[in-house]
Amino acid sequence: MSLESPLAGGAPDDLTQVMPTMVLDRQPSALATLDARAISAWFGDHQVLDRVSLNMPAGAVTALIGPSGCGKSTFLRILNRMHELIPSASLAGEVLLDGADIYDPKRRLVDARKSIGMVFQKPNPFPAMSIYDNVVSGLKLTGTRATRDEKDELVETCLAKAGLWKEVRDRLRAPGGGLSGGQQQRLCIARSLAVRPRVLLMDEPCSALDPTSTRVIEETMLELVQDITIVIVTHNMQQAQRVSTQCAFFLASHGKPGAIVEHGDTDAMFSDPLDSRTFDYVNGRFG
C-alpha cells in the first residue's frame, strides 16, 4: 500500500474481517493532548530523528517547521503509527494520547489510526467513488455500523466542518475525483473527520493548492481546532503564523539526525526566538 494511499490513514481492508463492529458514536469527544517523548527514528541504519520530545496540547494547532529533510514528516508519521508501514523503518520512544501509549502492544493499531487522522500533501480521495461514499468510507475501515439516516447526517456534518457542504450538497453522488484540488483536499479532511479523530495530522496540506483554497483550509483548521488537536507540517512561515498556537523548529545539522532546536509560542518564536538558527530560519536566511 502506498503511504499516501487513501487507506494509509485508516486500516487495512482485512482488519474489517476481524474487528468487532462498533456503533456510530454521536457524542462529542473530549479534547486530547498528544505527547511525544524521546522519539528517535531510523530508516535501516540511517538515524533521522534523535530523541525528539514535544507536547502537542489539546485544542491547539502545533506547527512543525524546518528545512527539507530534517525529519518533520517522519515525526508526523510516527504520531499515528504510519512510520512502521515502511519495511526498513524503526523507532524508539513513546507517543502518549492523553497519557496512553499508542505503541502499547495491547492497543490495536486501528484504534490509534482512528483517534489520530492524517491529511496528506497531495489530496487523495477515492477518485471514482462518490463524494458521499468518500466521506463515509472510514466507517467500513473502522468497522463502525451506521444507519442510512446517521450516514446522511454524518456526511452533512463532516462536509460542513470541512467547509465543503455548500459547494457539493447538490452533487453528493458525483465522483470525488471530479472536484478541484482544493475541494478534494477538503473532501479528504471531511473523510478524516467522519471517524471522529481526536487529533488531526496535516502534512503540508496546502502546498499543492492556490492561495484561495489555502485560505479556506486555514479557516477550516481554525474552526476544527475547537474540537480537535491539530499538528501541521508547513514550509510556509506565514501559514505557521496564521494558524498555529505553538511551533517547533526542527533541524538536522551537519549530517546529524533531526532534532528540535526550539519550540514554544508561535508569536514569540517569530518575534523573539531564543536560538539564532531559529531567527535565521523564520526570517528566510536559510532552508
Ligand X SMILES: Nc1ncnc2c1ncn2[C@@H]1O[C@H](COP(=O)(O)OP(=O)(O)OP(=O)(O)O)[C@@H](O)[C@H]1O
- Interface ranges with ligand X (CB under 6 A): 43, 48, 66, 68-74, 86
Min dist. Cβ of residue 230 to ligand X (A) = 17
**Torsion-angle region of residue 201: left (phi > 0), alpha (psi -120 to 50) or beta?**
beta
Min dist. Cβ of residue 206 to ligand X (A) = 14
93 or 143: CB nearest ligand X: 93
Min dist. Cβ of residue 279 to ligand X (A) = 19
144 or 214: CB nearest ligand X: 214
Check if the beta carbon of residue 265 is closer than 8 Å to that of residue 46.
Answer: no
User: Cell numbers at residue 11, please?
Assistant: 486500516
83 or 198: CB nearest ligand X: 83
Taken as a whole, the chain contains a residue count of 287
- Residue type at 49 in one-letter notation: L
Q: DSSP readout, 65-81?
A: E-STTSSHHHHHHHTTT
69 or 181: CB nearest ligand X: 69
Range 52-56 contact pairs with CB under 8 angstroms and sequence separation of 24 or more: 52/93, 52/250, 52/258, 52/259, 52/260, 53/93, 53/260, 54/248, 54/260, 54/263, 56/199, 56/229, 56/231
Min dist. Cβ of residue 234 to ligand X (A) = 9
21 or 68: CB nearest ligand X: 68
272 or 280: CB nearest ligand X: 280
Check if the beta carbon of residue 197 is closer than 8 Å to that of residue 115.
Answer: yes
Q: What are phi and psi of 51, to 5 degrees?
A: 45, 60
Q: Give CA–CA dist 146/124, Å, rounded.
A: 24
Min dist. Cβ of residue 249 to ligand X (A) = 11
Min dist. Cβ of residue 120 to ligand X (A) = 11
- Crossing angle (nearest 10°) for helices 211-224 and 148-161: 120
